[in-house]
Homo-oligomer: A and B are copies of this chain.
Amino acid sequence: MVEYSSTLDTVFHSLSDATRRDILKRVSKEELSISTLAKPYPLSFAAIAKHVAVLEDAKLITKRKIGKEQIVSIQPNTFKAANACLGQYEKIWNARFDALDTLLKNK
């Protein structure tokens, strides 16, 4: 009956935490090691490593080892899937909404 997409489940679940979204924001600007990522937050290193693991599971980021460090970088393609999903809900009511928007502006 329902079309189950475990991928979207994990993507959206990853995005539902403010710390993880902040990690994504930082990583979208530059590649960072997990320990560098961990510094600003009032959480243990292990907690951040877990958050990074969640993001990695959702394929929102990738890790690659350089020496003793794990360098985290963003994985663009996955966001396209999330966007496409949101777009799916949008398409019908978008026209309606835009019409309302213009209506309100011209009032």
Contact = CB atoms under 8 A, between A and B. Distances in A.
Tallying the copies of this chain within the complex gives 2
Contacts of A77: 97
Interface in A49-107: 74, 76-77, 79, 82-83, 85-86, 88-90, 92-94, 96-97
Contact of A85 (B6, B21, B94): B21
A46 B86 CA distance: 26
Nearest to A42: B1
A22 B5 CA distance: 11
Interface in A1-59: 1-6, 8-13, 15-19, 21-22, 24-25, 28-29, 40-42
A12 B15 contact: yes
